[in-house]
Chains A and B, each alone.
Chain A
Amino acid sequence: MSGYFEGVLVLLAVNIVFAYGAFLPLAAGQLNLGLAGFAAIGAYAAAYASNSWAVAPTLAVLLGGLVAGVVALAVAVPVLRTRGIYLALATFAVGQIVQATILNLEIVGGAAGYPVAAFIRWPTIAAFAVVIVVIMAALFATRFGIAIRALHDDEIAADLMGLHVRAIQVAAFTIGSITAGIGGGLYAHYFSFIEAQNFNIALSITVVLYVLLGGTQSVLGPPVGAAVFTLLPELLRGSQSWRYVVFAAALIVLMTLRPQGLVTSAQLRRLFTVNRQPNEIAT
């Protein structure tokens, strides 16, 4: 595989992983604008583990996800007391604090950035992405997935039906952050160098864009959104800036035409009904 395609493929895989990190809280009706912070924690923790303790890279990535999850859990309990736009801004502040802290953390290079010695090859990264898609699809087929949807549609009704709203929200936020941390670790071990600027507010925002473009109704939304976001700018010709202009304009028009996202549950139902009854249609 040529270097260019390999790079795009890895970026696509990492973006899909990030997208699930934003998808889980969004599916439960919360906007996490601090996702880049958790991706950064995962990336730096994984890189530190493989650099300093010689942990196997794939294990280090999982460890990074775990650290991001622990931090998310500690943050979720106070932060999730706020809601709506306040929650979005609180998570935004968390992301900024993480970035600023890393800039001042000399043990991982501070503002100079942090080189990563170990390397993960592209098939492993692609496998990580596939496994995460499968896990998420399985998760959304369980009671937990149904509970998340219920919360998204009507929090008060979900509460009345006996769901533990706070616990589900904290779980969605934490699992999302673990996923983002894993994505960060994968990024660190492929590109071999990380710095705080990789994980700024722009990353949090673009990942949320993936999810809302793909749609929050279906587990298949995030990969579709991430694919459009990763591949469309690559397909466009012209200067870097023109690409972004066309891309942003396309995004605005797409959101106007399909505010519910590209993939919706009704659409999938239609698709699967056709697939399941081919005989009836044939006859």
Chain B
Amino acid sequence: MIGQQIINGLMLGSVYAMVAVALTLSIGVLNFLNFSIPGLFMIGGMAFWAISRAGVPWPLAILATLGIAAAISMVVERFTWHWLRGAEQFVPLVSSMAFLILFEHLAVVIWGSEMRPVQLPFAGADWRLGKLIVSVPQLVGLGLSFASILGLSLVLHHTRLGRGLRTIAEDSDTALLLGVDVKQLVPVVFVLAGLFAAVAGALFAIDYRQVHPFMGEAIGLKGISAMIVGGMGNVWGAIVGGLIIGIAEVLSVGYIGANFVDISVFGLLLLILMVRPAGLFVGLATERGGP
């Protein structure tokens, strides 16, 4: 059944990839590890569940979820970036962690802490290819995550917005001198990252048919791992990293035993960080570590 395992791993990996893209965008452009992203992933999943439970058709529910995520990302930008300029190196990171705590417990207050099943009309749609089972929503999710990452990559390379973002990634002071409107573009980075995280959360809800307020934490750790494997700031690296982590997780749970998965995954990460800090794939990203 290795074929089935790999398919499952790819599905899981595509969710990780989207979270990794959100994280890598923030690191690549702003050199900021934004811990509110796992929170936005959870909000994506839970808001989608809550809105579609209220009887809203799912395409509208996804749109509403994206709107909520974008609005929240703007608020996060004010508190972790805009009003914190001149603060110490790690302060934005700390504020973003506080946002994660805030989101999780707010979700508990609003929706309760139990696991909620997600019911969807097309839940039973599966394709059978010989012995392999491919669930159609998962396949759509995989396609959607590839398409949105491709879209992001095109935006980064072929638009004025993308040029601006890449200039800020090189050096935000120089970008300002060159006439890039940094104040306007930074919120765009937050909103893009927030949208990717929220879409990943909604996809997770559709794929695995359950949501709960702390669903972001484990995914956040996997997303960070995927981002490191792919090289921080590298969008295509993030997708490859996500797929590798997803497949490795499913295979090692199946073949090595769940107990040793964390030791091997994080041991590998540590090794990559020390031997190849720019990630396994040399790409468009600049190597950045900060002073």
Contact = CB atoms under 8 A, between A and B. Distances in A.
Interface string A70-109: 0000000011011111111110111011011101100000
Given A212-B94, A241-B105, A248-B102, A260 B88 contact: yes
A148 to B, nearest CB: 15
Given A209-B94, A241-B105, A88 B263 contact: no
Interface stretch (A112-120, A181-189, A249-257): A249-257
A191 interface: no
A194 B291 CA distance: 38
Contact of B90 (A83, A212, A247, A252): A212
A260 B90 CA distance: 10
B83 interface: yes
A93 B98 contact: no
Interface stretch (B53-61, B120-128, B244-252, B265-273): B265-273
Contacts of A83: 289-291
A255 B224 contact: no
B266 A97 contact: yes
A31 interface: yes
22 contacts: A82-B277, A84-B291, A86-B273, A86-B277, A93-B267, A93-B269, A96-B266, A100-B260, A100-B266, A103-B262, A104-B263, A156-B291, A208-B94, A244-B105, A248-B98, A251-B98, A251-B101, A252-B98, A252-B99, A256-B95, A259-B87, A260-B87
Nearest to A202: B217
A168 interface: no
B232 interface: yes
Contacts of A247: 101
Given A89-B224, A104-B263, A241-B109, A259 B84 contact: yes
Nearest to B259: A104
Q: A interface, how many residues as a size bin?
A: 35 or more
Contacts of B270: 79, 90, 93-94, 97
A256 B91 CA distance: 9
Given A26-B90, A201-B221, A255-B91, A249 B102 contact: yes
A201 to B, nearest CB: 7
A90 B90 contact: no
Contacts of A260: 87-88
Q: In terms of DSSP, what is the predominant structure of the interface of chain B? A: helix
B86 interface: yes
Q: Which 4 pairs show the lowest CB-CB distances between chains A and B? A: A259-B87, A84-B290, A100-B262, A248-B102
A229 B221 CA distance: 24
Contacts of B273: 82, 86, 89-90, 93
B282 to A, nearest CB: 16
Contacts of A259: 84, 86-88, 91
B96 to A, nearest CB: 9
Given A78-B274, A92-B224, 10 more contacts: A31-B89, A81-B274, A82-B274, A85-B290, A96-B221, A212-B91, A242-B109, A245-B102, A259-B84, A260-B87
Contact of B79 (A84, A92, A96, A252): A252
Contacts of B228: 89
Given A83-B289, A100-B263, A155-B291, A252 B105 contact: no
Nearest to B109: A241
A145 interface: no
Interface in A221-278: 239, 241-242, 244-245, 247-249, 251-252, 255-256, 259-260
A203 to B, nearest CB: 12
B21 interface: no
B97 interface: yes
A260 B79 CA distance: 14
Nearest to A255: B95
A260 to B, nearest CB: 7
A216 interface: yes
A255 B31 CA distance: 19
Contacts of B291: 83-84, 155-156
